[in-house]
Amino acid sequence: MIKVGIVGGTGYTGVELLRMLIHHPHAEVVVITSRAEEGLRADELYPSLRGHLDIRFSHPDPAVLARCDVVFFATPHNVSMKMMPELLELDTRVVDLSADFRLRDAELWSQWYGEPHACPQFLTDAVYGLPEFNREAISGAQLVACPGCYPTSIQLGLLPLLENHLVDPMRLIASAASGVSGAGRQAKIDNLYAEVSDSFKAYAIPGHRHLPEIEQGLLDIAGTEVNVTFAPHLIPMVRGMHSTLYAEIIDSAVPLEELQNLYEERYADEPFVDVLPVGSHPQTRSVKGANTCRLAIHRPQGRDTIVVLSVIDNLVKGASGQAIQNMNIMFGIDECAGLETVGLMP
């Protein structure tokens, strides 16, 4: 069995890791840490775990975590980077769900996160954990930086177009909406029920922290510079993400059917990407609780703008499910292990 440690197990991504790892056939959670909840049983904080898990939160100790085969960081930014040097020195394998190692440029990271990076020497060693593009590198990685939710839905949606140089990489638009769980479990006025219910709003239009990650990932896919206009929105639901992506096709003679075939062929062997038939409109509820990204490709009025619709569960394929998918790849086991949950309907 793979011995698993989780740092920061009290948030939504932490409890999602627990929910999926409980029934993982090849993994067992042996350490879960929280400074604030040290000594508390996990099922006291999350009653949904009663009868499934009797582990208690403990203080994060790198020496204890190093006894695990893999450690997940389900923490806010600037936490994992402070513990990473010691863990990597002890040959621990890590899957980091935070933003600390997603960007390769330390100055760019500091620009967006407002502080110096604590261990920039590891930024270029970290492997970006988007399995559909980076599977081979993930398999041999010691440190995997799990992608953010917005970047996952956007990169998977645009990947076939950019990989085949079919659209203008300098004219990309992503309009995406996330459920409120994407903001984490902290108490914030903007996330109160009375503030978000019966409302819909854009936010961070001048610049969202996921933008440099999106552009870095799309640059790797396209092999050339990209320019993305990114407009995130908050939608009044707990979980789910819908990205509407716009790209300008270079050769207007390429028919929609050819693009559809391209997507179907590119993702034919990807267990967690589902390309819907022509004319479809994927819904977030179809992927709720599942490690699935559903895509649909459109070409409105036959014009030169390609519209890709991409839906994921922001806490699963956008976070904890993808993290477990990365772990499976790292340890050479069935990539689908522990992740075959069907979406919840209704």
Could you tell me if residue 187 is inside a domain?
yes
Could you tell me if residue 274 is inside a domain?
yes
- Residue 346, preceding bond cis, omega within 30 degrees? yes
At 135 the pLDDT is 98
Q: Judge if 160 and 307 occupy the same domain.
A: yes
Residues of the chain short of pLDDT 50, as ranges, are none
Q: Judge if 159 and 111 occupy the same domain.
A: no
pLDDT tens profile 167-222: 999 999 999 999 998 878 777 787 788 888 899 999 999 999 999 999 999 999 99
Q: State how far the Cα of 126 lies from the Cα of 284, in Å rounded to an integer.
A: 31
> What CATH code is carried by the domain that includes residue 33?
3.40.50.720
Could you tell me if residue 331 is inside a domain?
no
> What CATH code is carried by the domain that includes residue 230?
3.30.360.10
Rounded to the nearest angstrom, the gap between the alpha carbon of residue 14 and the centroid of all alpha carbons in its chain is 13
Range list of β-strands (E), 34-92? 57-58, 70-73
Active site residues: 149
The answer to whether 238 touches 210, Cβ cutoff 8 Å, is: no
Could you tell me if residue 330 is inside a domain?
no
Q: Judge if 120 and 154 occupy the same domain.
A: no
At 128 the pLDDT is 98
Query: What is the arrangement of strands in the sheet containing 293-298, beginning at the earlier edge strand?
Result: 201-202, 228-234, 167-178, 241-249, 305-312, 293-298, 273-275
Closest CA to 56 of 94, 18, 2: 18
To the nearest whole number, what is the mean pLDDT of the chain?
Answer: 95
How many domains does the chain fold into? Answer: 2
At 44 the pLDDT is 93
Q: Judge if 298 and 162 occupy the same domain.
A: yes
Expressed as residue numbers, the domain containing 195 is: 150-314
Q: Judge if 156 and 118 occupy the same domain.
A: no
Q: Judge if 185 and 93 occupy the same domain.
A: no
Q: Judge if 180 and 308 occupy the same domain.
A: yes
Q: What is the pTM of this model?
A: 0.96
pLDDT tens profile 236-259: 999 999 999 999 999 999 999 999
